[in-house]
Amino acid sequence: MRIPLTTKGAEKLRAELDRLKSVERPRVIEAIAEARAHGDLKENAEYHAAREQQGFIEGRIMELEGALGNAQLIDVATLSAGSKVVFGACVELIDVESDDRRVYQIVGDLEADIKLNLISISSPIARALIGKHEGDTITINAPAGQREFEIAVVRYEG
């Protein structure tokens, strides 16, 4: 199954993969070798911590390689969906009740980061937005109850 990924998101994932392979993996291998040199491995906390970290790093490397290998790269700058919300869109929302404004970009699951206002294509907000246009109103079922948002602006930028 092809997973959507913005070209910008793919670059970030490739950079993380390169860092894991060229910096983190060698560092943890060195830490394991150093811990082994200390003798008895049964009660060697440094050894067990390094092995655990190695497992995490190898798992993340496999996850990133798989995702990048199955990615359907989408260059957001070349999209021309107009005022319609599709994958990659930056959407400015206005909370109908409070008039608060928020801007989100709809991205692939692996590149989502709410702190950077990058929301996953599979999130409830993104699912409610897809296919809508500027001026439309959407309703989101939030933990605090239903919230209504107006789609103020839809734009596509790389």
81 shares a domain with 48: no
Position 37 scores a pLDDT of 83
Per-residue pLDDT of 33-76, as tens digits, reads: 988 887 776 777 888 899 999 999 999 999 999 999 999 898 88
Per-residue pLDDT of 78-133, as tens digits, reads: 877 778 999 999 999 999 989 999 999 999 998 999 999 999 999 999 999 999 99
95 shares a domain with 151: yes
Position 44 scores a pLDDT of 78
Compute φ and ψ for 105, nearest 5 degrees. Answer: -115, 135
Whether residue 158 has pLDDT greater than 70? no
108 shares a domain with 56: no
Starting at the earlier edge strand, list the strands of the sheet with 101-107. 118-120, 101-107, 90-95, 145-155, 137-142
Closest CA to 111 of 17, 10, 16: 10
Whether residue 26 has pLDDT greater than 80? yes
86 shares a domain with 69: no
Residue 21 is part of which domain span? 3-74
Report the CATH number at residue 66.
Answer: 1.10.287.180
Whether residue 137 has pLDDT greater than 90? yes
Bridge partners, 103 (sequence order): 92
| CA quadruple 72, 12, 113, 28: dihedral, nearest 10 | 120
Structurally, the chain folds into a number of domains equal to 2
Whether residue 29 has pLDDT greater than 70? yes
